[in-house]
Structure 1
Amino acid sequence: MTWDIEKLDLDAYLRRIGYDGSRTPTAETLRAVHLAHVRAIPFENLDVLLGKGVSLDLGSMQDKLVTGGRGGYCHEHNLLFAAALERLGFLVTRHLARIRLGRHHLPRSHAMLTVVARGRTWLADVGFGGEGLVEPLPFEEGASLASGEWRWRLGRDGQFWVLHSGETELYAFRPDEPQLPSDFEVANYYVSTHPQSPFTRHLLAQRTTADARVRLEGVRLTTAEELVGWLRAELGIEITRPDAETLLPLLPD
């Protein structure tokens, strides 16, 4: 596996996220493209639960998330986003982080980025789901960000940098650890196949709007037709009735 950023149809990607602004690699462009991506492309794990697997080949990710109208999880979102940023002229480093959410010493399974724009480094992450970032955060100890009622902060824990959402530690990572394409292949395989991975046990689907996280949690759906309709109306995702029948027992409580 290589990054293969030349495979990306940048114009198609920018149309997908509804972005028609400046393509100059500034902090303002980074923020606008980050925000547009988060609001346009949903977070979901349907293909894992349907046994279709998750490919990190850029052409496959583009077919799924850009032209296919689907969403994905962190590896798909952030590797696609990284390619778009590099095509726009940003300096991007791909990282693997350790999810915390009340736990420590978990494997490096979450994909995220640091991005340099005009000499300043930013933490960028369009693929966390949950309470993840909607905009990039300065990669500086103590940096904070507010968007409506949502709050994030970047701190340190020994050698690790830790992203907080409110009082919750989302994940920790070390920027000095080299990350190769093969590392992402291994992490992606674990996330999409391991029986203890949350992505192999429950249907996760979320769309972020300007002031809300639209999620499946707490939504009462009892038939395949209702699931098909909810995904279409709330996330813009089209699935077949047979796929919905497979997914229905895996809805979150």
Structure 2
Amino acid sequence: MWNSEALDLDAYLKKTGYEGPREPSLEALRALHRGHVLELRWSTVDAMLHHDVPLDLSSLQDKLVAGGRGGYCFEHVSLFAAVLEAFGFEFFAVQGRVVMGSEKMLPATHALLVVELDGRRWLCDVGFGASMLEPVELVPGGAGSEVEQDGWRYRLRERAEITPGARGWELLQPASGPEAGRDGDGAANGDGDGDGDGWMVRHNFTLTPQYPVDFRASNHFVATSSHSPFSHRLYVQRVLPGTLHILDELRLTTSTAGGGLPAVTRDLEPAEVPGVLAETFGIQQSEEEARLLVARLAANAAASRASA
């Protein structure tokens, strides 16, 4: 289903640093997830500049594995699904609603995978940008599960009504974390923390299986619609053990896990951005794309000043 027969698995595993057995196991799943998040990049550059984000496996491999460029959730999850399929994992895809503390009803435009292994289910979320480093188990019941991964903390719990009339799951993070105050796959909001005990809902989802055709439909909206923040705005993230870098248009923010140190924020000039993408985020661009990006960022900044 996920076209794994067209996957250059050797190239992918070399890129992500996986050297273990090529068979389905929890150890392999954890290592694959961690390698993908740490070694493949996340950005909205193609949606912003071109409004065209292909999901065919050849394009994804050229872009994310060979090209050193970044993509967002539908790209990352489609590629990771092909890898899991090649390994022989049992899994299905789902789509979630990014919440980030908002009370608004937002479209289900975040892609995830649920892996079934030895009678247990594991949430794989490799395409969020500030992604979990490893899968988190779906533990039925209200208590759910709470994990810490290299300083990043998460809760995953089942809810009787995740959206009106639908049972589902929600992933939470500390409300004071570096991503607090964002929704809609990254659009800023100020609607509060969404939880009463110091935790904030990051995203929620039902277990309705999704398929590549569903990803293509949602991906078209995210890449092209004027209602999608990604179609007109630069947003880049890179999570590391203990550190998170975020570039939101011209604002670069670096945060540390646990909130023990204040975030460091710097405003950039458009011409600085290609260098920051390469040095801080490890994202490569052609000279032509770099010129296009600088011009678009300058135009966005001018429009923002004119409307202020």
Residues 247 and 234 of structure 1: is their aligned pair in 2 closer, same or farther, counting only changes over 3 Å?
Answer: farther
Tell me by how many angstroms 1:247 deviates. 4.1
Q: Which runs of 5+ in 2 are unaligned?
A: 161-166, 175-198, 253-264
Matching residue of 1:221: 268
Decide whether aligned partners of structure 1 residues 201 and 136 sit closer, same or farther in structure 2, where only a CA change above 3 A counts: same
Partner of 1:83: 82
Letter aligned with residue 137 of structure 2: P
Query: Alpha-carbon deviation of 1:54?
Result: 0.4
- List per-residue Cα deviations over 1:60-110 (Å, max 9, x = no partner): 111111111111100001110111011011112111112222134322211
The worse-fitting range, judged by mean Cα deviation, of 73-82 and 232-241 is 232-241
**Partner residue of 1:192 out of 223, 230, 244:** 223
**Structure 1 SS opposite 2:19:** coil
Q: Does 1:170 align with 2:202?
A: yes
Letter in structure 1 aligned against 2:220: Y
Q: Which range moved further: 166-175 or 141-150?
A: 141-150
Task: Tell me which of 272, 277, 287 is aligned to 1:231.
Answer: 277
| Alignment-derived partner of residue 245 in structure 1 | 294
Of 142, 145, 160 in structure 2, the residue corresponding to residue 143 of structure 1 is 145
C-alpha distance in structure 1 between counterparts of 2:275 and 2:83, whole Å: 31
- Retained in 1: the 8 A contact 2:49–2:293? no
SS of the residue corresponding to residue 190 of structure 1 reads helix
- For 1:25, what is the secondary structure of its paired residue? coil
1:11 Cα deviation after fit: 0.6
Aligned equivalents of 2:47 and 2:294: distance in 1?
A: 15
What SS class does the counterpart of residue 219 from structure 1 fall into? strand
| TM-score calculated relative to the size of structure 2 | 0.76
- 1:243 Cα deviation from its structure 2 partner: 2.5
- Alpha-carbon deviation of 1:26? 0.9
Runs of 4+ in structure 1 off by over 6 angstroms are none
Q: For 1:24, give the aligned amino acid.
A: E
Q: Give me the whole-angstrom Cα distance separating, in 1, the residues matched to 2:43 and 2:158.
A: 30
Q: Which has the larger radius of gyration?
A: 2
TM-align CA RMSD: 1.9
> Match for 2:125: what amino acid?
D
Q: Distance between the aligned counterparts of 2:84 and 2:41, measured in 1?
A: 19
> Given that residues 98 and 110 in structure 1 are in contact (C-alpha distance below 8 angstroms), is that contact kept between their aligned partners in structure 2?
yes
1:27 alignment counterpart: 26
Q: How does 1:109-148 map to 2 (within 5 A)?
A: 109-130=109-130, 132-141=131-140, 142-148=144-150
Give the Å deviation of 1:205: 0.9
Farther off after superposition, 213-222 or 45-54 = 213-222
Distance 1:223 1:49 in 2: 15
More strand by share: 2
Say how many residue pairs are matched: 248
Q: CA deviation at 1:185?
A: 1.1
Other-structure match for 1:211: 242
Report what 1:155 is aligned to.
Answer: 157
The gaps in structure 1 that reach 5 residues or longer are none
When the two structures are superposed, what TM-score results if normalisation uses the length of structure 1? 0.91
Q: Matched residues in 1 for 2:97 and 2:246: separation?
A: 23
CA offsets 1:151-210 (integer angstroms, 9 cap, x no match): 1111123202111112111111111x2323221111101111121212123211111111
